[in-house]
Amino acid sequence: MRESAFVKRNVKKWEEFENLLRSDSSDPDKLSDLFIQVTDDLAFARTQYPESRTYIYLNDLASKIHGKIYKNKAEDRKRFVEFWKYEVPMIMFEARKKLLYAFVVFAVSILIGIVSQKADDSFVRTILGDGYVNMTLENIKEGDALAVYGRGSQMDSFFAITFNNVRVSFFAFAAGLLLSLGTGFMLLQNGVMVGCFFTFLAQQGFLNESFKVVMLHGTLELSAIVIAGAAGFVMGNSILFPGTYSRMASFKKGAIKGLKIVMGLMPVFILAGFIEGFFTRYTSMPWILSGTIIFGSAFFIIYYYVVYPIKLANANRKNIRA
């Protein structure tokens, strides 16, 4: 094929490619397809017209497309970092009242569980089931009240626990569809369970041991439930109180914000599952080590979900004023 015919056949396509490159909102998939087509034309030109201006032009065009693709990939990686560095903390700042509501509901629910178990020793069987209670009593007779955490392989436990944490927290968020009442019920249910569980072990004389072992992973796990509850309240309140938006538009905004909070919890779920699967099984761990993990986890949760969002919001206000 003559060079002039080759150019005439493809020039409109190349011009379209150049227009796409100049666009700020280039589709990555379209760019990839574009790169394949241009490199095909470039390979043909290299074979047929190696010293021509057409070959030089296509080589330059392919280089530009290649650069655009890798620029987009770099922006995607930057976006990934900014999600946890800026986006989640700013949403948590907006949702700080909902986080407080979730914490209060959960704390009151724990108190209900404590008082109920103290008032009736059999209450724990209603909440945790006869099987779990009988197993724990048997473990106590054998000298290890929390032996249940040492069963199963570490890796299997890690995956099972992480999946369960994600499931419980997602349900706490999704229950916000029931106008926040569903989320409130989920927090109530889990809080009563926690209060009842620790009171039961305290009645058996194992409060210190149970706190040291369970809170290794429980600090992150229970915090995640409360934060997911805040996400549920964000979504539920967006339906109840749409403000100046239509109810549907408000719901969409609330659902997206709530979902981002839950997605931002993924590293917490993974870390909690890792600790429970690989560390909690060592029930005789010294207090100095377990205390370091517990208080380190608590510091991370308080800083990232409460302190850092406030600092970030204050910094943004100063930048705006400046």
Cα angle 82, 84, 88 (rounded to 5 degrees) comes to 105
Residue 217: burial class (beta carbons within 10 Å; 0-12, 13-18, 19+) = buried
Q: Report the alpha-carbon distance of residue 59 to residue 22 in Å, rounded.
A: 17
Q: How many CA atoms lie within 13 A of 90 on its CB side?
A: 11
Which of 14, 12, 9, 13 is closest to 57 using CA atoms?
Answer: 14
- Report the pLDDT value the prediction gives residue 32, as an integer from 0 to 100: 63
- Report the pLDDT value the prediction gives residue 77, as an integer from 0 to 100: 63
| Token pair of 99 as six digits | 């986080």
* Placement of tokens 């620029």 in the chain: 71
Q: Report the alpha-carbon distance of residue 124 to residue 201 in Å, rounded.
A: 10
- Report the pLDDT value the prediction gives residue 268, as an integer from 0 to 100: 94
Q: How many CA atoms lie within 13 A of 194 on its CB side?
A: 23
Contact indicator for 273, 165 with CB cutoff of 8 Å: yes
Tens place of pLDDT per residue across the chain (322 aa): 778 788 888 888 777 777 777 765 556 656 666 667 777 787 777 778 777 888 787 777 777 766 666 565 554 566 778 889 899 999 999 999 999 999 999 999 999 999 999 999 999 999 999 998 998 888 888 877 776 666 656 666 667 778 887 888 889 999 999 889 999 999 999 999 999 999 999 999 888 888 888 898 899 999 999 999 999 999 999 999 998 889 999 999 999 999 999 999 999 999 988 888 888 777 677 889 889 999 999 999 999 999 999 998 888 777 655 5
- Report the pLDDT value the prediction gives residue 233, as an integer from 0 to 100: 96
Q: Report the alpha-carbon distance of residue 286 to residue 37 in Å, rounded.
A: 63
Q: Report the alpha-carbon distance of residue 17 to residue 31 in Å, rounded.
A: 9
The 10 Å Cβ neighbour count of residue 1 is: 9
Q: Report the alpha-carbon distance of residue 164 to residue 157 in Å, rounded.
A: 10
What phi, psi does 184 have (nearest 5°)? -60, -40
| Token pair of 21 as six digits | 């490159």
What is the amino acid identity at position 201? Answer: L
Q: Report the alpha-carbon distance of residue 49 to residue 42 in Å, rounded.
A: 10
Long-range contacts of 313-317 (CB under 8 A, 24+ apart): 313/90, 313/93, 316/90
Q: Report the alpha-carbon distance of residue 25 to residue 22 in Å, rounded.
A: 9
| Token pair of 168 as six digits | 């419980």
Residue 126: burial class (beta carbons within 10 Å; 0-12, 13-18, 19+) = middle
- Report the pLDDT value the prediction gives residue 120, as an integer from 0 to 100: 94
- Report the pLDDT value the prediction gives residue 55, as an integer from 0 to 100: 76
